[in-house]
Structure 1
Amino acid sequence: MNKINLHEVSEYVGQNIGIFHQKRIRSLDVLKLSHVLKRKNPYLFRAKHVLTAEQIVKSLVDAHISSNEETLFGDWLEGLALFINERVYGGWKSGISGIDLEFDDDGVRNIVAIKSGPNWGNSSQIAKMRLDFKIAQKTLRTSNSGLRIVAVNGCCYGRDSRPDKGDYFKYCGQRFWEFISRESELYTTIVEPLGYKAKDKNEEFAASYSQMINRFTKEFMDSFCKDSGKIAWDELVRFNSSAKYFFLVYINDSKIIYL
């Protein structure tokens, strides 16, 4: 086991946080209004007395962005955890399904499923993780029957006051970062470099976001608003929920509906 070099960790964060911002912006570039419209409940907008196209568009896009950013940043934090653990324990990205990290410590093989926060899944998803742990343990013992294996659900932020779950441990926030690094204050050390060039990157993101909101609002009005400007709720519900799939194509500004 090696002691973590905190300066090296800060350098890694500063050099790689741009990857997260690039993916955020790229996700906006490929997003389509039709995709987000089909994922949300049109009846809810009507029940909330939403009156403008921009209100609907912003609500749809903001919900998508929030969910997408959580996923993107979770993936980025997983990369950071792997980097740190490799430096301290020589850990590696696991090739076993459902397992993100493996490392050896004092004769024990730790298998880790990394999640963003403590409330990451429902009962079915947790049951799936437990099954993944059992399969991983069986796989590893096939090649080494005497191997001691500990399963861990590591969460990058948050708390869990009862880490011992019986067949696995759940370490959240400070406990998780200390578990993979043996550095008790690592969870606070990584905060500062996360802000590297954040202002510039967020301004770039804001520009892309504003353009997309304007573009989607126009597209929504062309497709789902009457000439008076009133929202055509029946058309919106049909697009979202009709048994017959259809999509809109524009040719020389004329709307053509394909069933």
Structure 2
Amino acid sequence: MIDAHQLEEKIGELLDEFYKRRTDKITGLKLKQTLKRKNPYLYRAIGVQKASEIVEGLLSAYMSSSDEGIFGDAFFEPLAKFVSGGVVSPSEGVDVAIETKTTYRAIAVKSGTSVFNAQSKRRQVDDFKALGNRLRKLQKHFDPIVGYSYGKKKQKNVETAAFRELAGQDFWEEITGDSEFYLKIIRLMKNKPQEHLLSYKQHWDAAVNRFTLEFIKGFCDVEGNIDWEKLVRFNSGRN
């Protein structure tokens, strides 16, 4: 059983890293790179008139998507390694390896349960197979697992599946032996997020101001109206 104080310290350390990465992301973000990936026709169709509205929508959508990946890499994956007693796996497609005298557990840590499409699932199967082939000489039971850090997953055809799928409470209990661990994660965050929010909000507001100024200069007319054709040319024109 992991010491509660050590676990709280680790969770705090991982939250520090998460906020550092998301701050770096929003600080380094470029307006035009982001605009190229958005739908200008949709903004026009829903009646957007303010540059700041487009900018805040861009930032919210981008950071929401980015945060999920950052949190998985900076928080869930290292936490799983820490609490399982495993090591970072050197194998492609596997994040944590837990080896005993009789078993080699290879764990791919994911965030939610909707990460796979058909192609990425096949790639995960291939990665596990390649690792299993390399480990045959050890003569240990090979146990490949995809662990979803939150959510629920009812796996079909468990006996014939290429790997086990465990989600939320089941996943964290599998690697810690503690059925309540998934709740301990949220409890032990305590006030750490609030400690970071003021600094992050300052970076957010600065990005909104920076992007709004750049958008007005680049895509508004002299009266301050959005030049939709100019925006669409930038987004979708050949040149």
Normalization by structure 1: what TM-score?
Answer: 0.86
Percent same amino acid among aligned pairs? Answer: 34
Q: What does residue 77 of structure 1 align with? A: 76
How far apart are the structure 1 equivalents of 2:194 and 2:2? 29
Consecutive unaligned residues in structure 2, runs of 5 or more = none
Q: What does residue 8 of structure 1 align with? A: 6
Residue from 147, 151, 175 that aligns with 1:158? 151
Q: What does residue 54 of structure 2 align with? A: 56
State the SS of the aligned residue for 2:142.
Answer: strand
1:105 is displaced (CA, Å) by 4.6
Alignment of 1:1-259 (within 5 A): 3-75=1-73, 76-86=75-85, 91-105=86-100, 107-141=102-136, 143-144=137-138, 146-162=139-155, 164=158, 166-244=161-239
Equivalent pairs counted in the alignment come to: 236
How far apart are the structure 1 equivalents of 2:133 and 2:234? 48
Consecutive unaligned residues in structure 1, runs of 5 or more = 245-259
State the SS of the aligned residue for 2:97.
Answer: strand
Q: CA offsets, 1:76-120, max 9 Å, x none?
A: 21011101111xxxx211000111011125612111111001111
Q: Which has the larger radius of gyration?
A: 1
How far apart are the structure 2 equivalents of 1:121 and 1:18? 28
State the SS of the aligned residue for 2:20.
Answer: helix
State the SS of the aligned residue for 1:34.
Answer: helix
| Contact residue 4 and residue 183 of structure 1 kept, 8 A | no
Q: What is the CA RMSD across the aligned residues, in angstroms?
A: 1.6
1:44 is displaced (CA, Å) by 1.5
State the SS of the aligned residue for 2:36.
Answer: helix
How far apart are the structure 1 equivalents of 2:190 and 2:62? 23
